[in-house]
Amino acid sequence: MKDCIFCKIVANEIPSYTVYEDDIVKAFLDISQGTPGHTLVIPKKHIPNIFEYDEELASQVFARIPKIARAVKASNPDIKGMNILNNNGQVAYQSVFHSHFHLIPRYSNQDDFKMIFKDNSNRYDADDLKKIQESIKEHMGD
């Protein structure tokens, strides 16, 4: 897609530190290096976000992530774990609108990556959860 920075990386029109590529995906270092080894995995096809994948492409892309994650982990003995993140929409911190999965190696709970899941469970009773459950299920389709 014209004017998409990641499509330009796929086409080698702008340089990247690519660590893996095949006909379906390209994996390259995130320029921000949130932690050392921070890598992005993207479909070569321009897909804006998770909502736009068909099942075939989703399975092809996801099938490649564990192998790339293992290589990133093996690249540095100090890597103890990894967060894999996929941001969808500006409100969810997506800034490049070509779908991508962040592989963020974790070195300790004092490294440069933080994620906060607030526990709001005391604000929901069984009825509230049931309503949410039903409303999601209604939209599940086949």
Return the number of the residue (16 or 35) whose C-beta is nearest Zn ion: 16
90 binds ligand AMP (CB under 6 A): no
Backbone angles phi, psi at 19, to 5 degrees: -110, -20
135 binds ligand AMP (CB under 6 A): no
Report the partner that residue 64 touches, choosing among Zn ion, ligand AMP, none (CB closer than 5 to 8 A by kind): none
* CB-CB contact of 43 with 25 (8 Å): yes
Report the partner that residue 32 touches, choosing among ligand AMP, Zn ion, none (CB closer than 5 to 8 A by kind): ligand AMP
Alpha-carbon distance of 105 to 84, in angstroms, equals: 9
* CB-CB contact of 83 with 31 (8 Å): no
Alpha-carbon distance of 32 to 26, in angstroms, equals: 17
83 binds ligand AMP (CB under 6 A): no
Active site residue 100: yes
Alpha-carbon distance of 142 to 122, in angstroms, equals: 33
Identify the active-site residue in 38, 46, 98, 100: 100
Site residues (CB under 6 A) for ligand AMP? 5, 14, 16, 30-32, 87, 93-96
Catalytic residue numbers, as ranges: 100
